[in-house]
Amino acid sequence: MKTLSRQEIYNGKIIKVYRDEVALEDGQRTTREVVAHREASAVVAINENRELLMVTQHRYPIHQDLLELPAGLIDEGETPLEAAKRELKEETGHEATDWHLLTSAFSSPGCHDEVIHIFAASGLTHVSEQNLDGDEVLTFAAIPINEIVQRIKSGSLKDSKTIIGVLLYESTQRG
């Protein structure tokens, strides 16, 4: 597929929207709408009691409160790991000593270019209170990982980054 032209439709704080004219492999021309989105990081933060630090926040586009991993956008000049460490501290007041990348995944590649980097973090220490962004409202709690896995299996936990991160973390722990 070859991009023939690009028209910017919207330029916002977090996203840009484009309408691209493309040529398919068979020569047919068509359009694709693309949402350009800043990259993000998420954290599977697990304490010594096998509890995950989870946040609950209202997600306006779907008008629901979701239980999720701590996560957020990567700031300019920041690495994915630096963003993960910052978000964990801002959203939960915790720091971790041990970090490793579980995966980097596209959130919705049919129309979105966002990549989310999902890290595992352990060796947790509570160092401060939450320090949320001005427009951020969320709560956090430590929830046993087996309870989170059950919520995933039952379909009551619907956040994709959390599903990916928790199940991938669990699969690496089983060998």
Nearest to 44 by CA among 53, 36, 35: 53
48 token code pair? 């010594």
Taking the C-alpha atoms of residue 67 and residue 136, their distance in angstroms, rounded to an integer, is 15
Q: How far is CA 129 from the centre of its chain?
A: 22
Q: What is the dihedral of CA 76, 79, 81, 84, to 10 degrees?
A: 10
Q: In terms of C-beta density within 10 A (0-12 exposed, 13-18 middle, 19 or more buried), how is residue 164 classed?
A: buried
From residue 168, give the alpha-carbon distance in Å to each of 24, 145, 175: 35, 12, 11
Active site residues: 136
Query: Using alpha carbons only, what angle is made at residue 39 by residues 38 and 41, rounded to the nearest 5 degrees?
Result: 135
